[in-house]
Structure 1
């Protein structure tokens, strides 16, 4: 697997889409400073998932987007794509089968970052997981940028461990371990929360078993409150509707005035459009004339400038020709003078040659005599030097012994002084103060006990608050469920009432009944029937069940199709075995006595009937003497059954309302309790903080006193031991001083004898030196004469050569002047030709410009006239528009008021809908004397009565069953979480075993390769890796290196170049074990000298067989190593471009 190419677009200085290919194993990226070379490294790091803008040399992630230059605007997004060859199938998983892999990252100005794998959108984690264990990553050892070499070699042990882990391929294990630890932590947190909830539920279940109560009064008051709220909302709706209707009439009057103004405005617009079109045509014509006028002016200016330039140039050429003629004359005169000087110098050189040869011969004879005398002197000096060495050795020996005596005397004095000082310090040490230490210890224990008590109170308060909050949440959940149940019941009640209402099919009669204020009720409400015989009564009575029951016949209205019953005619006697007996009302219609009851159809057929009698069964089979009817209506669809259901639902609604009120009060009480507990917890927490500071201060005072006591004891013991050691040392120094004084006396006698011998030999040598000095003076005189003559001859020869060179140079200058003269004459003739042609064209353009200027003035005058007319027209329209705007503003204000009234009315309707009340029904049943203030007072009184009621729990049994089911479910979850926690901990142990084994194996291999590579890079020395701890999961890694001839104690003492080579040795050792697909090096050879660069290049060349290298360099030796050169240029400021060169092809082309 290797990097095939990089595609960049808008990334930093690479604003244009750029492809950077990497066809060979060694590619060098070169270019001047600041051209954008390091941006290539940043691009690779960015695509591989780098999330820190600081590591990309920026402040924000959007800083990687091209921000513009002096000639270009900023771009809105940037993208970088890496294309890999995966022929070796090194990647694992689903991407192993692809021969080519593409990874792309795109970021926009709003900091939205998107990743793509082979064109498919993916997550950042997918990219990082893909390269786990391969050595690639945003901060892996495969990418080494500027300054990273020194940071690598000086990094902390834990940071250096990361590189070993990546080489070992255990980064994926660490990621899995981190995820598993997170799951374990979350599982443990869930277990704790679950255990708390289970405990609270257990307490709740105990309480729910003991709870039971009723709240009928609460239900009654709640129903009365709901009715009063509905009627009060209806009164307010009626008031807002009347106000909205009044305001709407005023809006309609204003609309008539507004339409009149708009009609006037439309009449003026037709003439305005015609004038606007004329104005636009004149503007277009004026712009065309103006453009032609400007073009003629530009042409005229250009031709005039050309004419002026040509004339000036002709004048310059004439002046330059004059200078050339003058220079030619001066050069001819100088050439004649130089030829005369050359002849004179030739004669002087020939005269000096014989004299120079005689001086050379005499100098050689005197030089031979001088060498013989000097040889004799050297032999004498050799003997004298031997004696002198002996003398100096004796002097040095005597000096050393004397110095030793002085040093021993001085050391003895210092030791005695130090001994007196230590004895004085021992006497001055302060006395022990154990009582103060004991007092501070007791004070610390008291403060810690008080802190523990306060912490326990705070913990109890927090637990109590947690319990109250849990109860509050449970109450709110129950209240929410109660609201839902109540809404369902009210909807069911409304549907049942609507079905009952639909049974009445005479609309006119129902309208009469609604308007009639007299007392009446339908028959189905008047009768009370046993549930078993409700269907039978429904079959017999039919539509009579909806008939109204009046007390007297006089109350009945004369309405077409109307039916009615009169309770004054009902019978109280109920025949035995008849259907009337099944009705529990005091009285009932007399014809029910004529209907007998049978338990089933068989029994009904066996009963003998009298004329007018019939028999019916509970399932609706009704038979007479000569007829039979079978009811087809389901029992649950009958009026009486629905009436029973309505009563049942109304009772349940009342119960739910009472329960809701109780829950509301319970929630309020729990809220207040929670607030009190929170305040108490805050006060306890503040007190705990004060106590904690007091404990810290006490502990610090106790430790300081204890430390002072310990320091005093240690100091006393140390001084006593030092005094004993120093006394022994003084005795030893006195013995050494006596021995050194005896040695000094012996060396003084030997030195006196040597001084006498050296003095005798020095007199003999002075005589030989005098003879040699005289001979040297004679030789030096001859040498000076010869040198002076040679200088004179050399000076004349130099002057002769200068004359020759000046003559040659003058000839070249004359030739150049002739050529320049011919060129200027030709240029002058070419400039004189176009002057006359340009003058004629210039005159024609001037005439045309005058004509165009006149046309433009006429057009401008017409345009100004139209503009004045339009301004007057616009002013009139603005006045009309102002009047219309004033009317519209007034309309808008009134409409806002209308809308406000309607919104308030609609809000009241919504309020009624929430209460399941019909507005029309409420208004129809509202008394005529109803007033808003009176109804509000009644509602307040009902609310006060509800507030005085205590909390009532209506659903203790249902809640107990619900909470018991929840408890069982939580117990099951607890078992599942415990099992999952055991599984996760087993996985952690397995990951740790694999991680230890892989890390140890990789560490040993990298350490061995480092010990092999380091001497190879440095030409000697040694380096190794070491662990900082025995725990292979947490231990850090340190590196120790000692170049040849050095025994440094730490890696920080190495020079910059040595650190760079050591870091490269470590990186290449890792590469040998787990080679990444490629290695990026950014100027890592900068601190190296040429010799070390050669070693670095040789090592990179050897490893390029298995690793693809891409490196940035300014070093020529490193450039020569590359098989492919890629240059980065910045010809356009702020914009980088690529220039690629294949080195082998370039060499082949150069040789051809």
Structure 2
């Protein structure tokens, strides 16, 4: 698999659609700084899924879109596509069958990023999953950008581990493990929730089973109630429909009156429309006249401005003509002066020519004599210089020998000093006792391990506390849910009881009382009775128990249509052994004082009654002298019991609300404790991580100390060898010192002989030099005279040429000024012609404007008259509208009354869907003798039976079956989730085993390759990878490197070039094991010198047989290494373009 080409459009500086092919295994991208070379690597990282704008040298992801330049506008989107040749079975899955693979990413200005695989839209994860294990990715070791070399070599152990994992191909295993862990976590959460739901569901099923029996009885009674309600609704619908028909007749009569007024209104509106049309016509005429006035005023203003402009132009032309006449005269005067000066300069030039020829002849004679004397001086000077050079050579040889002898003496001193230092270092290393240091480090490691274990135990305790708080949270939630369920049940029961109480009252009668402004309340609210006698009291007062009680008797204007009690007529007497004695309220009906009490029916039958007296039992058996009532039930039955129950529930509900609030407070406290526990666990984890880091650091120090001990022993061995070599070197230096002393004596004697010959040769040289100097002075004087004559002649010629050119320019200027003078005179004559025509046109337009003003005033008067007539018509129309409004108001009142009856009828109809009955069928089945009062009594009896059942869960039967089925389904889910947990945990263990195996094998192989490549790159030295801990799943990776001749203890002590070569050695070691489809390098050779660049190039050439290399460079050596050069230019500012060169073809053309 290899990268075939890159397609870019709108990406950073590549605004135009650009194809970058990579036909060879080694492609170098070259170009000047800032031309956009690094944008190619950014494009590859971006399309492989890079999501950090910072890593792409930007602030936002939309920064990759071309933002415009001085000559181009910004574009709306950016796209990059990578095309791969899919060979070698590197890609697995459904895309393995394709010979060519395309990956594309597009981003718009709205920051909408889209990925495509072979033209099909996909997710970012699909792209990253496709290359898992291949070494490719947005931050993999296959893409080494600027600055990444130093970050790679100095990265943390966990960050360095990522490269080993990618080389081992276990990144996909880690991804699967992460997904599996998420599934396990979700499965555990689901199991906990499922357990809570199953427990709660079991409790609900027990309750539902008890409620189901009551629900069946309730449904039977509700069926009877539904039938009676339907028939009662049909009776009421017939009554309300008859009332509506009467009101509709009255509404039709008012409608006829209304139509008559509407016809009159329409006639008035027709006349108003004619006046409004006239008003609109006059306004239109007024607007047209105003528009014509505006246009005419504009023309007059424009003509006045034109006249003013022509006047100013005539003044300008007169001024310019005067100035041109003055300039022409001045130029002609200058021309006459130049002609006189030209004649004088021609005479001066003719007089200078003979003097110049005579000076040239004298200069030739002096130059001949000067050559002869120069030859004599050169011979004398050569003899003197030869002797002097010989003397200097002797002196230089003497100084060289003295310097070498001094250097040899200094070398002997340095060698002696070096020998002394080596001996001192040997003694120092032998005296160092490292055992004590090792003991201290081992104790520090043990202390760090103890601290780490202590932190781990504390974390486990906090975790146990967290689980305990979680259990308390679930228990409180269960209690809260139970309390809320109970609250809902009691609220439902309270609403049901209040509904039954409200049904026992006559709403129409209550409305009548409100209309009469009578304050009242039902009798059952006033009476308070002992609980065991409630049934007896309801039986005795069954016909008046729900009747309203008013303060005193009033003469009522209308018939109320129902019973009404008066409070002032009630008694406060409570005779013993009467039903009145069981009533605890102050006032009570007189009837109760005549009702005796009996414990049972037998004693009631035996009771002797006086006229007007009766007897009653607790269960409601009521007997008089000639009659008996066996606990008759109606819609008022149980009203006192319900009132007592309502009071009890209203007292219970606040307490239940208080319990719920208390549980909520406990939940809030528990949540606060959980948050504190979470904070403590987080702090404990941080402390534990810090302790672990300290432990790792101490272990590293111990390991470094052991390495240093080993290095010290190696150093002692090396010192012993260096001392022996230094002694041998010192003996050789002493022999060299004796030879140099003998040579120095011979050279000193030769130098003395040459020094005696030099004074005589120097006198001869000075005599010849004086003769030569005299001849040169004479020749120089003649040359200066000749030069001065030449300058004078040249000056005169230059002045002649300048005067001639000035005269030509003056003549040309005079001609131009004359032509301009004639043009201005012609224009001045032309400007006088249109003035009379413009004056005539101005007079015509002024007359037209006056006429239009008269028309405008006339139209305005007519418009005012029409508007006055229109105002009178509007007043008459308003009176008609008021009459229409009064009729409509009366009609609306009747409609409201009719609508009230219709609403009541519709309200009756709306009740029918609730009981699932149709009006037509009800009217057909309704008996002819049906009467609303009797049907209401029958309905009340059934409702009393329903009320005695209390609160009933109607859905209990169905809910019981549903919840039972749900319980069985949840049990099955619990078993499935438990089985899935075991399967996922087995998968985690399997992934861990495979990860450990692959990581260990890859680490060993990469370490071996690094140990082999590092000496090859550096020409010696050693490097290795080390693990930070024993757990292969969590351990980090560190790198140790020691270039030749260095014993550094840490990688941070290396120079920039050494770090770069070390990082390249590691990357290439990874490539040897798991080569990515391609490797991209961005100026990684920048910190390297030429020698290291040669090693780097050689290594890249060797690896290019198995890996495709694409690299950016400014180094000529690296450019020569490439088989294909791709140039990036920026001929247009801000826009990058490509220039490709095949190096082999270029060489072939050059040789041909």
The two structures have a TM-score, normalised by structure 1, of 0.52
Asked if 1 retains the 8 angstrom alpha-carbon contact of 2:69 and 2:1134, the reply is yes
Aligned counterpart, 2:58: 58
Residues 254/180 of structure 1: CA separation in 2 closer, same or farther (3 Å cut): farther
Residues 351/1098 of structure 1: CA separation in 2 closer, same or farther (3 Å cut): same
Aligned counterpart, 1:1098: 1098
- Residues of 1 paired with 2:765 and 2:1088: CA distance? 50
Residues 1034/367 of structure 1: CA separation in 2 closer, same or farther (3 Å cut): closer
Asked if 2 retains the 8 angstrom alpha-carbon contact of 1:454 and 1:684, the reply is no
Residue 918 of structure 1: SS of its match in structure 2?
helix
Residues 921/38 of structure 1: CA separation in 2 closer, same or farther (3 Å cut): same
Asked if 1 retains the 8 angstrom alpha-carbon contact of 2:1126 and 2:1139, the reply is yes
Aligned counterpart, 2:141: 141
Asked if 1 retains the 8 angstrom alpha-carbon contact of 2:1010 and 2:1066, the reply is yes
Residues 1047/188 of structure 1: CA separation in 2 closer, same or farther (3 Å cut): same
Q: Within 5 Å, give how 1:660-1059 maps onto structure 2.
A: 674-683=660-669, 778=756, 918=906, 952-955=951-954, 957-958=956-957, 959-1059=959-1059
Aligned counterpart, 2:561: none
Residues 197/832 of structure 1: CA separation in 2 closer, same or farther (3 Å cut): farther
Per-residue deviation at 1:1092?
Answer: 0.5
Q: Does 1:349 align with 2:360?
A: no
Q: Does 1:1110 align with 2:1075?
A: no
Please say which of residues 358-367 and 99-108 is displaced more in the overlay.
358-367
Aligned counterpart, 1:536: none
Asked if 2 retains the 8 angstrom alpha-carbon contact of 1:451 and 1:688, the reply is no
Over the aligned positions, Cα root-mean-square deviation in angstroms equals: 7.8
Equivalent of residue 467 in structure 1, options 474, 478, 486: 478
Asked if 2 retains the 8 angstrom alpha-carbon contact of 1:27 and 1:1110, the reply is yes
Please say which of residues 156-165 and 253-262 is displaced more in the overlay.
253-262
Aligned counterpart, 2:1060: 1060
- Residues of 1 paired with 2:8 and 2:828: CA distance? 56
Aligned counterpart, 1:1119: 1119
Per-residue deviation at 1:668?
Answer: 11
- Residues of 2 paired with 1:30 and 1:471: CA distance? 76
Aligned counterpart, 1:32: 32
Residues 195/100 of structure 1: CA separation in 2 closer, same or farther (3 Å cut): same
- Residues of 1 paired with 2:651 and 2:822: CA distance? 104
- Residues of 2 paired with 1:849 and 1:1142: CA distance? 77
Deviation string 1:584-638 (CA, Å, 9 cap, x unpaired) is xxxxxxxxxxxxxxxxxxxxxxxxxxxxxxxxxxxxxxxxxxxxxxxxxxxxxxx
Deviation string 1:455-503 (CA, Å, 9 cap, x unpaired) is 9996676334422565589899999999xxxxxxxxxxxxxxxxxxxxx
Per-residue deviation at 1:1084?
Answer: 0.4
- Residues of 2 paired with 1:373 and 1:142: CA distance? 61
Aligned counterpart, 1:190: 190
Residues 151/334 of structure 1: CA separation in 2 closer, same or farther (3 Å cut): farther
- Residues of 2 paired with 1:191 and 1:151: CA distance? 45
Asked if 1 retains the 8 angstrom alpha-carbon contact of 2:142 and 2:1078, the reply is yes
Deviation string 1:251-292 (CA, Å, 9 cap, x unpaired) is 999999899868855886698699799989x99xx9xxx9xx
Asked if 1 retains the 8 angstrom alpha-carbon contact of 2:466 and 2:677, the reply is no
Per-residue deviation at 1:56?
Answer: 0.8
Per-residue deviation at 1:366?
Answer: 8.3
Aligned counterpart, 1:156: 156
Provide the aligned length of Structure 1 versus Structure 2: 786
- Residues of 2 paired with 1:255 and 1:476: CA distance? 71
Asked if 1 retains the 8 angstrom alpha-carbon contact of 2:401 and 2:744, the reply is no
Aligned counterpart, 1:761: none
Residues 92/785 of structure 1: CA separation in 2 closer, same or farther (3 Å cut): farther
Asked if 1 retains the 8 angstrom alpha-carbon contact of 2:473 and 2:670, the reply is no
Aligned counterpart, 1:41: 41
Per-residue deviation at 1:201?
Answer: 1.5
Residues 188/847 of structure 1: CA separation in 2 closer, same or farther (3 Å cut): farther
Residue 94 of structure 1: SS of its match in structure 2?
helix
Residue 103 of structure 1: SS of its match in structure 2?
strand
Asked if 2 retains the 8 angstrom alpha-carbon contact of 1:472 and 1:667, the reply is no
- Residues of 1 paired with 2:151 and 2:755: CA distance? 68
Aligned counterpart, 2:98: 98
- Residues of 1 paired with 2:779 and 2:1083: CA distance? 52
- Residues of 2 paired with 1:684 and 1:1115: CA distance? 68
- Residues of 1 paired with 2:1138 and 2:38: CA distance? 13
Residues 919/97 of structure 1: CA separation in 2 closer, same or farther (3 Å cut): same
Residues 357/1011 of structure 1: CA separation in 2 closer, same or farther (3 Å cut): closer
- Residues of 1 paired with 2:819 and 2:13: CA distance? 52
Residues 768/28 of structure 1: CA separation in 2 closer, same or farther (3 Å cut): closer
Residues 921/175 of structure 1: CA separation in 2 closer, same or farther (3 Å cut): closer
Residue 1012 of structure 1: SS of its match in structure 2?
helix
Asked if 2 retains the 8 angstrom alpha-carbon contact of 1:67 and 1:73, the reply is yes
Q: Within 5 Å, give how 1:123-134 maps onto structure 2.
A: 123-134=123-134
Asked if 2 retains the 8 angstrom alpha-carbon contact of 1:9 and 1:18, the reply is yes
- Residues of 2 paired with 1:874 and 1:789: CA distance? 124
Per-residue deviation at 1:1089?
Answer: 0.5
- Residues of 2 paired with 1:260 and 1:461: CA distance? 88
- Residues of 2 paired with 1:674 and 1:337: CA distance? 135
Q: Which runs of 5+ in 1 are unaligned?
A: 301-307, 412-446, 483-661, 701-763, 884-890, 895-900, 926-944
Per-residue deviation at 1:775?
Answer: 6.4
- Residues of 2 paired with 1:1014 and 1:800: CA distance? 78
Per-residue deviation at 1:1064?
Answer: 0.7
- Residues of 2 paired with 1:4 and 1:334: CA distance? 83
Per-residue deviation at 1:677?
Answer: 2.3
- Residues of 2 paired with 1:798 and 1:1126: CA distance? 65
- Residues of 1 paired with 2:162 and 2:19: CA distance? 32
- Residues of 1 paired with 2:824 and 2:131: CA distance? 78
Please say which of residues 998-1007 and 186-195 is displaced more in the overlay.
998-1007
Per-residue deviation at 1:57?
Answer: 1.1
Residues 63/964 of structure 1: CA separation in 2 closer, same or farther (3 Å cut): same
Aligned counterpart, 2:15: 15
- Residues of 2 paired with 1:468 and 1:842: CA distance? 115
Residues 50/923 of structure 1: CA separation in 2 closer, same or farther (3 Å cut): closer
- Residues of 1 paired with 2:1074 and 2:973: CA distance? 45
- Residues of 2 paired with 1:1096 and 1:73: CA distance? 42
- Residues of 1 paired with 2:380 and 2:779: CA distance? 23
Residues 150/773 of structure 1: CA separation in 2 closer, same or farther (3 Å cut): same
Asked if 1 retains the 8 angstrom alpha-carbon contact of 2:462 and 2:680, the reply is no
Deviation string 1:550-569 (CA, Å, 9 cap, x unpaired) is xxxxxxxxxxxxxxxxxxxx
Aligned counterpart, 1:710: none
Residues 1133/274 of structure 1: CA separation in 2 closer, same or farther (3 Å cut): farther
- Residues of 2 paired with 1:1148 and 1:35: CA distance? 29
The two structures have a TM-score, normalised by structure 2, of 0.52
Per-residue deviation at 1:154?
Answer: 0.9
- Residues of 1 paired with 2:774 and 2:653: CA distance? 124
Aligned counterpart, 2:178: 178
- Residues of 2 paired with 1:373 and 1:33: CA distance? 52
Residue 33 of structure 2: SS of its match in structure 1?
coil
Deviation string 1:114-154 (CA, Å, 9 cap, x unpaired) is 11112221111111111112111101111100100001111
Asked if 1 retains the 8 angstrom alpha-carbon contact of 2:381 and 2:765, the reply is no
Per-residue deviation at 1:1079?
Answer: 1.1
Q: Within 5 Å, give how 1:256-335 maps onto structure 2.
A: 265=280
- Residues of 1 paired with 2:856 and 2:144: CA distance? 73
